[in-house]
Amino acid sequence: MVHFEHELTGLKNALLTMASHAESAVKQAIDAVTNRDYDLALRVRAGDSVIDHFEVELDELAIRLLAKAPLAGDLRLIAVTMKISQNLERVGDEATKIAKRARDLSQEPPLKLPPAIPQMADLALQMLRTALDAFVSQDTATARALIPKDKQVDALNKEVHRQLANQMIEDPETISRCLNFMVVAKSLERIADHAKNVAEEVVYLCEAEDIRHSGKTKATLLSDERGGHAE
Amino acid sequence: MIMSTEPEKLTPPKRDQIAPGLTPQPRQPARTGIAEAAITVRELSVFFGSNKVLKSVNLDVPARAVTAIIGPSGCGKSTFLRTLNRMHDLVAGSRVEGQVRLFDQDIYGARVEPVQIRRRIGMVFQKYNPFPTMSIADNVTVGLRLNGLRKRSTLAERTEQALVMAALWDEVKDRLNSPAVSLSGGQQQRLCIARALAVQPEVLLMDEPASALDPLATARIEDLILELKRDYTIIIVTHNMQQAARISDDTAFFYLGELIEFGPTSKMFTSPSKKQTEDYVTGRFG
Amino acid sequence: MPTHNHTRRKLFNTVMQVLTCGCALLVVVPLLLVFYHVVKSGIGSVNWSFFTALPKPVGESGGGMANAIVGTFELLALAALIGVPIGVLGGVYLSEYGSGQVNWFIRFGADVLNGVPSIIWGMVVYALVVVPMKRFSALAGGIVLGMMMIPLIMRTTEEVLRLVPNGYREAALALGIGRWRAILQIIVRTALKGIVTGVLLALARVAGETAPLLFTAFGNRFWNHQLSDPIAALPLQIFSYAISPYEDWHRQAWAGALVLLMFVAIVNVGVRVLTRDRFSQGS
């Protein structure tokens, strides 16, 4: 069992490395927007392939471990790792989108960044970091506490959209730059969503309770009857 | 109910894309909670001499389902199984306390004959053991013949029935009179299952029935068990957790003579309640 | 130095090998001597009349051992009638039933009895059967041989039954078959070849017993017509002819010895052949 435990630890460490890559991609992308840094934006775009490779390798490793037919906590850990890596890969994609907008914005005259955007960025990054910390320490309370924060980011996003919409009406010269800002905000909102997903996976890992999509009506695919399949 | 090959798309799958062709199989149907209990065990304790081997076990075995019993060596799972068909009566110095009921009958009641119980509760062993001096057909009907059933036509009928149920008929129908030991290991074990089924028991106890077989033969026995559970209550002792996960509806985890946890297999193997169960199931001990 | 040791070791090995081989051969030598001598001395006198004619009166030449041969078989049949059921069922009890203490005692007793000198068996039956009946009889002879067979058959039956794997007992009981039925119709049936072997070997063993028959069957120069009469037996006849002063009778004694030896040899070899068949059946 010791060998398998080592492999599980290796899996977790790989996930955490991937997470740090994703986190720094987001941070760098936002810096590129704030500081109008063309080169930084290009570096973020290039770095996305690293994150993509991580996802592929993590999935491969996870499948290999699943072939050893683990059960209970080990099984949940591997399943959750695969889900989280998918979320992190999307976070990387969103960071790339932000970087692209940063690149475009740096080619245009500077425009004042809506203050909500750095706030959103801070929140989203904090959420991501906290979710991964909860994963490492298997702290379900922290994970659960994280989930409502997503609403804050949603609210900020709406605020940004409103502001930028007004600005575009007042000054049509700024339309293109405002649209870029809107995309950045949207991406940050999606990153916060992914952080929330990670938190939900952590809850499943710790409590074996699947709290995703709660509040929407459940579709029942599984039969309630005894006896299973009929011929 | 026919499962379609694509899951019904009620909400567009977002992050979790279900791979086409991979249907959610209702292998572990939900417990209705009012399932009939075939065997109820209350405060069962078993002593070998002064050694208390089973300690106050309480358990309800659901009818027409597969219940797996898991646990490390020496935890009492085989002892528990053998208590259910009174095999311990043959062990000098053994004592059974508590109550075991088969449907409405108290197995250890004052006027109950063990022989009677063993006709209602059959058993299949780890090492397949068809009687070597008898042919295939004779092996199947031995339980009937030695209990007085002599009519040729009935015996022939029951032979075919039992062999069909044990998924062995097609392979042996042309050589029913050849010696039972001429069959392969997997076939011999299925013959033993047919032999047990011929007596028409209500419950089938299986003590690691596939552990002496190769993977292919094991898979066939597992398929057979899944078929049989429509008509029989099956209790299977296994040291192979994945096997328990594959074929059982409920699982009981024993440790050092005590029942630690009992619950639906799907829960036991994905998120057991007790840490001991979790540790055993993930191979951290035992 | 090492090569020197090596040669010495090799020499020692060879010497030991030759020594042990020689000792093993020495075991066979008496057997060969016996066979050679008996065949050489007896083959001349073994003819049709030997098997069919009664002994001739003293002084007359010719005659045979027909009654002794038949008598031996009769005694063996009687012995089997007594020894086989009691021995087999006793063996069944020892193997399948009984408590540890009692069984240990019975086994010990049987082993001791197997070692009791056969002449003492004869004396016991003399006191128990011949004296009350006031006559020597085939019945007494059958009883003594049967009693000698009992501990022998009991132990071999028990050994053979113990070799039957416990799995069969459990399987039989798990089918709801009553204990006795299970034992007789399944376990004993599985061990049957072994039990028969044990019985045959016991018969071959008592076929050659002479001393007990001296006090019980006594011998008879004529046909035996009822169980309460004395009966001729091959070993007895050989004995009385061998110590007689008559040359003719000596030759007939050798012939009788040859027939007896052949009987015992055939049974033993036959049993070995039967047993070998069983092992080669596989599983």
- pLDDT of A101 reads 95
Contacts of the segment C116-121: beta carbons below 8 A, 24+ positions apart? C117/C211, C118/C148, C118/C209, C118/C211, C118/C212, C119/C211, C119/C212, C119/C214, C121/C147, C121/C148, C121/C212
Q: Least CA distance to C190: which residue of chain B?
A: B133
Confidence (pLDDT) at C67: 86
* Over residues A49-53, mean pLDDT: 96
Inter-residue contact B196 to B123 (CB < 8 Å): yes
CATH class of A2-225: mainly alpha
| A152 C-beta neighbours (distance < 10 Å), count | 14
CA Rg value for chain B: 20
- Three-state SS for C38-98 is HHHHHHHHCCHHHHHCCECCCCCCCECCHHHHHHHHHHHHHHHHHHHHHHHHHHHHHHHCC
Mean pLDDT of A85-111: 95
pLDDT at residue C143 above 80? Answer: yes
- Residue A227 pLDDT > 70, yes or no? no
Find the residue in C nearest to B123 (Cα): C174
- The span from the first CA to the last CA of chain B, in angstroms, equals 41
Tokens of C99: 């408590």
Chain B closest-CA separation from residue C113 CA (Å): 29
Site from B282, B284, B285 to mutate, A interface, most A CB atoms within 10 angstroms: B282
Rounded to the nearest 10 degrees, the angle between the axes of helix B136-145 and helix B152-165 is 110
pLDDT of residue B28: 39
Q: Tell me what pLDDT residue A220 has.
A: 62
3-state secondary structure at position C255: helix
pLDDT attached to residue B286: 62
If phi over 0 gives left and psi between -120 and 50 gives alpha, with beta otherwise, what is residue A72? left
Measured from the Cβ of residue B137, the count of other Cβ atoms closer than 10 Å reads 19
Tens digit of each residue's pLDDT (9 = 90 or more) over C173-194: 999 999 999 999 999 999 998 9
Helix (H) or strand (E) holding A160: helix A149-170
Per the document, the length of chain B is: 286
Place of tokens 């379609």: B4
In terms of phi and psi (left: phi > 0; alpha: psi -120 to 50; beta: otherwise), the region of C231 is beta
CA distance to partner chain C, nearest, from residue B9 (Å)? 51
Q: Is the pLDDT of residue B31 over 50?
A: no
Closest Cα in chain B to C283: B181
Identify the pLDDT of residue C61. Answer: 72
Q: Which of B74-83, B89-98, C25-34 has the highest mean pLDDT?
A: B74-83
Q: Do C176 and B123 touch (CB under 8 A)?
A: no
Chain B contact set for C172 (CB, 8 A): 131, 142
Q: How far apart are CA B120 and CA A1, in angstroms?
A: 41
- Asked if B100 and B108 count as a contact pair (C-beta separation under 8 A), the reply is yes
Asked if C178 contacts C91 with a C-beta cutoff of 8 angstroms, the reply is no
Query: Which of C97, C119, C283, C90 lies closest to C198 in space, CA to CA?
Result: C90
Alpha-carbon span A71 to B268, nearest angstrom: 9
Quick one: pLDDT at residue B102? 93
> Which residues in B lie closer than 8 A to residue C99 (C-beta atoms)?
92
B26 to chain C, closest Cα gap in Å: 34
C270/chain B closest Cα distance in angstroms: 21
Residues 6+ apart with CB under 8 A from A114: A160, A163, A164, A181, A185
Q: Which residues pair with B69 in a beta bridge?
A: B237, B252
Note the pLDDT of residue C182.
92
Say whether pLDDT at B22 is over 90: no
In the predicted structure, residue A157 carries a pLDDT above the cut 90: yes
Q: Which residues of A touch B2 (CB under 8 A)?
A: 230
Burial class (CB in 10 A: 0-12, 13-18, 19+), A191: buried
Residue A225, pLDDT score: 45
Element (H, E) at B42: strand B37-48
Task: Identify the pLDDT of residue C2.
Answer: 65
Q: What pLDDT sits at residue B272?
A: 93
The answer, yes or no, to whether residue C15 has pLDDT greater than 70, is yes
Contact C177 B192 (CB under 8 A): no
Nearest-Cα residue of chain A relative to residue B267: A72
Please indicate whether, in this complex, the C-beta atoms of C282 and B181 are within 8 angstroms of each other: yes
Chain B: closest CA distance from residue C98 (Å): 10
Residue A25 has pLDDT above 70, yes or no: yes
Contact A192, A156 (CB under 8 A): no
Chain B neighbours, 3+ Cβ pairs < 8 A: A, C
Contacting residues of C for B196, CB less than 8 Å apart? 174-175
Q: Are A30 and A98 in contact (CB under 8 A)?
A: yes
| C231: three-class secondary structure by DSSP | strand
pLDDT band at B175 (very low <50, low <70, confident <90, very high): very high
Strands B94-102 and B37-48, sheet pairing: antiparallel
pLDDT band at B14 (very low <50, low <70, confident <90, very high): very low
pLDDT tens string B32-60 = 455 789 999 999 999 999 999 999 999 99
pLDDT at res. C1: 60
| Type of residue found at A115 | P
Overall size of chain A counted in residues: 231
Split at pLDDT 50, 70, 90, the class of C228 is confident
Angle between helices B185-198 and C166-174 (to 10 degrees): 30
pLDDT at res. B34:
56
Instruction: Say how many CB pairs under 8 Å bridge B and C.
Output: 69
- Give every CB contact of residue A172 below 8 A, 6+ residues apart in sequence: none
- Predicted local distance difference test score (pLDDT) of residue C46: 82
Backbone angles phi, psi at C61, to 5 degrees: -90, 165
Instruction: Count the helix, strand and coil residues of chain C and give each as a percent rounded to the nearest 5.
Output: 80, 0, 20
Residue C6 CB: number of other CB atoms within 10 A? 10
Quickly tell me which residue has 């416990």 as its tokens: C166
Give pLDDT tens digits for B225-260.
Answer: 999 999 999 999 999 999 999 999 999 999 999 999
The whole-angstrom separation of Cα A211 and Cα A197 is: 10
Neighbours of B189 (CB within 10 A): 30
Sequence letter at residue C54? L
Closest Cα to residue C55, out of C42, C40, C71, C39?
A: C71
| Distance from C-alpha of A112 to C-alpha of C187, rounded to nearest angstrom | 97
What number is the average pLDDT over the span A44-62? 95
- Closest to A71 (Cα-Cα) out of B220, B278, B102: B278
**SS3 of B233-257:** EEEEECCCHHHHHHHCCEEEEEECC
Checking if the pLDDT of A95 tops 50, the result is: yes
Inspect the interface and report whether the beta carbons of C175 and B181 lie closer than 8 Å: no
Percent of chain C with pLDDT over 90: 54
| Complex ipTM value | 0.83
User: Residue A88 carries which side chain, given as an amino acid letter?
Assistant: L
Q: What is the pLDDT of residue C45?
A: 82
Contact call for C177 and B143, based on CB within 8 A: yes
Q: What is d(CA C141, CA C121) in angstroms, rounded to the nearest whole number?
A: 11
Which residues 6+ apart lie within 8 Å of C25 measured at CB? none
Residue C109 pLDDT: 93
Report d(CA B136, CA B138) in Å as an integer. Answer: 5
B264 pLDDT above the threshold of 90: yes
Reduced DSSP (H G I as helix, E B as strand, rest coil) percent helix, strand, coil of chain A, to 5: 80, 0, 20
Torsion angles phi and psi, residue A221, rounded to 5: -95, -25
- Which residue, B64, B9, B31, is CA-closest to B262? B31
The single residue listed with the structure tokens 């069959």 is: B183
pLDDT bin (cut points 50, 70, 90) of residue C49 is: confident
CA dist., res. C44 & res. C27, Å (int): 28
Residue B172, token pair as written in the block: 């042996």
Confidence (pLDDT) at C277: 57
Tens-digit pLDDT profile for residues A164-211: 999 999 999 999 999 999 999 999 999 999 999 999 999 999 999 888
Token pair of A114, please? 């809506």
Q: What is the pLDDT of residue C4?
A: 78
- Residues in A closer than 8 angstroms to B30, CB to CB, are 222, 224
Please tell me which residue of chain C has the smallest CA distance to B85. C174
CA distance B262 to chain C (A): 26
